[in-house]
Amino acid sequence: MAEDRDAELQRVYLAFDKMREQIEKMAAQAEFGVGGEHEEVLETYKMFAYDEGWSRRIIEAIDSGLTAEAAIERVQQRTRMRMRQIDDPLLADRMHDLEDLSNRLLRIVSGQMGTAASMGLRQDSILIARNLGPAELLEYDKRRLKGVILEEGSLTAHVVIVARAMGIPVLGRVRSLRAAVREGDLLLLDGDQGNATVRPVPAATEAFEARFAKNKERQAAYAALREVEPFTRDGTRIQVLMNAGLRDDMPNLALTGADGVGLFRTEFQFLVSATLPARERQTRLYRDVLDSAGDKPVVFRTVDIGGDKVLPYLRHNDGEDEENPAMGWRALRVALERDGLLKVQARALIEAAAGRTLNVMFPMVSEPWEFDAAKAVFDEQLKYLKQQRKPLPEAIEFGAMLEVPALAEVLDILLPKLSFVSIGTNDLTQFLFAADRANPKLAERYDWLSLSILRFLSRVVKANAGHNVRLAVCGEMGGRRLEALALMGLGIERFSITPVAVGSIKEMVRKVDLPELRRAMSGWLSNPPPDIRAALRHWATERGIETD
């Protein structure tokens, strides 16, 4: 217990000042470009550092008779208890920021100013941690830090976004790794494959280095195709676009030679913010993205939150957890219920696209009326801005994501209203198989080259025939060479994929005789072989097309 309450309060006040000074200094000295989402992350992190509720809870603990250290630890323990009860990964990410700040405050108040980062890295290193705050990452020597592996942390974790801006590969959710690794162990981190090898045998190291060298050769070959348009051998132009979700993704458009952005996930700005992003901030992001794209198209998907992407400032009305969030209150369902959310985004997109074509796509449409209701929100905002004599887009083209199987049964009603359709293969596949794609026990059932998936997609292609509607696939399926071959065989000529895969798919496209491939695929669908994957791989190998 504390003997002098005032002295303990003074210690914690000084520690808060020191901590905030450190964070302000690190954020100001961060060595990466300006204008990215990482800046919003650091601003949110700083907001936690200045959070009155957190400091008030620590002061109240001191008032109850605890020392400064004990008060910080009590509040930290209660925060950890809350974290254990949180299934929502996004809210948990924010709680990790508070955990990181608590550790920093505790070190300062107890006089332990040295950290692993401040003591410096003596050689090239991979950092392993349960979790990490973005400010702590900034303390490490970027020249020596070659990678980060976290036992927790997700794509939307603040530290991951900052690491990405620093050009440092990160693996998240690698369970129980710290217990298996000793300091000084050799570790191979493959960011592309998403895996790490601890204490590899010489053969594994050689294989890794050979794969790394081969990958560099491939990347050089793909880079040489950056300005080359992907025509098949028979002269069919295949559109290869890229997916994006951060302002920092946009340089990849020029680096890969992609035809545009076929899917810009607007929700990332909502995920890294502590509060609902203001319209001005949204407008600035969308305008920056369009400016970066130049004359190449960008398809903005309206915010897809809910499900496993619940925001702490936007909870379900009844506050109850959903048993099946993937099929629950998410995406367009949230936007239509919280119509203020969609109105603000619609106005921001329209204002940002002034003088240009705006491409808007609605996620998780399951019935035509949902598309009609969402489009009506945009029409209303367009009418308002026209009355205000604001600069407007030259045109607005609307599309829908086909990821709910039910939509395929009513495409004849919806297609006349659309400019484009994007098939979201990730969600579509798990809905068709009733198999959670995150469940390792069901991994074998999640097969994009199963007969049922291919026949379903073939029906969608045929339903779209005769309509002046651009049909695309956006998702992991289109970024895999063998699966992309199958899609081309079905009649898909437009892909939106991860930037890393753009060069690979462009290179493969140029080796394909499309009529021959489509005849083969038609035969496999009507008279299925025992293993379509094996049949397609054999077909490709005979024609000198690599499929890995």
User: pLDDT, tens digit, for every residue of 434-459?
Assistant: 766 555 565 566 688 999 999 999 99
370 in Cβ contact with 404 (< 8 Å) = no
The pLDDT score that the predictor gives to residue 350 is 97
The pLDDT score that the predictor gives to residue 476 is 81
pLDDT at 359 exceeding the cut of 80? yes
pLDDT at 210 exceeding the cut of 70? yes
The pLDDT score that the predictor gives to residue 198 is 80
**404-419: average pLDDT:** 94
Q: Which amino acid is located at 175 in the chain?
A: R
Structure tokens at 117: 């980062």
Per the model's pLDDT, the better-predicted residue between 351 and 101 turns out to be 351
| Mean predicted lDDT score pLDDT of the chain | 81
Q: Which residues contact 504 (CB under 8 A, 6 or more apart)?
A: 218, 222, 479, 481
172 in Cβ contact with 127 (< 8 Å) = no
The pLDDT score that the predictor gives to residue 294 is 94
Per the model's pLDDT, the better-predicted residue between 46 and 529 turns out to be 529
The pLDDT score that the predictor gives to residue 442 is 59
Per the model's pLDDT, the better-predicted residue between 321 and 404 turns out to be 404
Residue 161: pLDDT band with limits 50, 70, 90: low
pLDDT at 547 exceeding the cut of 70? yes
Q: Which residues contact 340 (CB under 8 A, 6 or more apart)?
A: none
The pLDDT score that the predictor gives to residue 216 is 77
Cα–Cα dist 201/199, whole Å: 7
Q: Which residues contact 104 (CB under 8 A, 6 or more apart)?
A: 19, 22, 133, 135, 136
> For the residues of 116-164, what is the DSSP string, one character each?
TTTT--SS-EEEEES---HHHHHTS-TTTEEEEEESS--TT-HHHHHHH
Residue 110: pLDDT band with limits 50, 70, 90: confident
**364-382: average pLDDT:** 92
Backbone angles phi, psi at 503, to 5 degrees: -60, -40
pLDDT one-digit tens code per residue, 229-278: 999 999 999 999 999 887 778 888 998 999 999 999 888 777 666 567 78
Which residue is it, tokens 């550092």? 49
Q: Can you tell me whether residue 407 is helix, strand or coil?
A: helix
Cα–Cα dist 41/380, whole Å: 33
Q: Which residues contact 45 (CB under 8 A, 6 or more apart)?
A: 23, 97, 101, 133, 134, 135, 158
pLDDT at 432 exceeding the cut of 80? yes
Residue 328: pLDDT band with limits 50, 70, 90: low
The pLDDT score that the predictor gives to residue 540 is 96
Per the model's pLDDT, the better-predicted residue between 324 and 509 turns out to be 509
Q: Which residues contact 359 (CB under 8 A, 6 or more apart)?
A: 297, 298, 299, 300, 396, 397, 399, 419, 420
pLDDT at 279 exceeding the cut of 50? yes
Q: Which of 362, 489, 509, 491 is nearest to 422 (CA)?
A: 362
Q: Which residues contact 252 (CB under 8 A, 6 or more apart)?
A: 242, 244, 258, 499, 502
pLDDT one-digit tens code per residue, 306-324: 544 445 445 554 445 545 5
Q: Can you tell me whether residue 193 is helix, strand or coil?
A: coil
**114-141: average pLDDT:** 67
The pLDDT score that the predictor gives to residue 23 is 75
20 in Cβ contact with 49 (< 8 Å) = yes
Residue ranges of domains in the chain, CATH in brackets: 5-109 (1.10.274.10), 125-214 (3.50.30.10), 232-517 (3.20.20.60)
Per the model's pLDDT, the better-predicted residue between 177 and 41 turns out to be 177
Residue 186: pLDDT band with limits 50, 70, 90: confident
pLDDT at 474 exceeding the cut of 50? yes
The pLDDT score that the predictor gives to residue 33 is 47
Give the lowest-confidence range in 169-173, 211-215, 224-228, 311-315: 311-315
Angle at CA 299, nearest 5°, toward 296 and 301?
160
pLDDT at 394 exceeding the cut of 60? yes
**pTM, two decimal places:** 0.70
The pLDDT score that the predictor gives to residue 309 is 47
The pLDDT score that the predictor gives to residue 335 is 65
pLDDT at 86 exceeding the cut of 80? no
